Amino acid sequence: SQQGEEDPQALSIQEGENATMNCSYKTSINNLQWYRQNSGRGLVHLILIRSNEREKHSGRLRVTLDTSKKSSSLLITASRAADTASYFCGARRDTGRRALTFGSGTRLQVQP
C-alpha cells in the first residue's frame, strides 16, 4: 500500500505568504518525515515527527500529525523565493526496519 500521499500537487504563492501542504498515509507509523527536493537534486530532510507527537516546530516550519486521521501537514511561514521546491512526506511504518515510502509530493512555487 502506498504511504504519504500529498496534496495539493502544486501550490503557487507570493513571497511572504504561508504555504500549507498536507499528507495522508494508510498504516500505523513509527514516525513521519518531511523532505524537500530541488529539481534533479537529492532529498533534504526537514523535520521528523514521532507518532506520539502532535506538533513540532523548526524555524519557519510547523508540522502537525493526527494519527486518528492518518494525516500530517507542513506549514511554511513567511515563504521566500528560495523555498521553491518539491516537498515530500515519508511515512515510516511501525514494524521492523521498514524504509520510508514517499507520496507524489507538492510542488511549491514562491513568486518573488
- In the complex, which residues of this chain contact other proteins (CB under 8 A)? 30-31, 33, 35, 40-45, 48, 50, 88, 90, 92, 96-105
Find the shortest distance in angstroms from Cβ 17 to other proteins.
25
32 class by beta-carbon count within 10 Å (0-12 exposed, 13-18 middle, 19+ buried):
buried
Q: Which residue, 79 or 103, is less far from other proteins as judged by CB?
A: 103
Q: Which residue, 26 or 98, is less far from other proteins as judged by CB?
A: 98
Find the shortest distance in angstroms from Cβ 103 to other proteins.
6
Find the shortest distance in angstroms from Cβ 107 to other proteins.
9
3 state DSSP class of 80: coil
- The Cβ-side half-sphere exposure at 106, using a 13 Å CA radius, reads 28
Find the shortest distance in angstroms from Cβ 96 to other proteins.
7
Residue 10's closest CA among 107, 79, 86, 75? 107
Supply φ then ψ for residue 95, to 5 degrees.
Answer: -120, 125
Q: Which residue, 96 or 112, is less far from other proteins as judged by CB?
A: 96
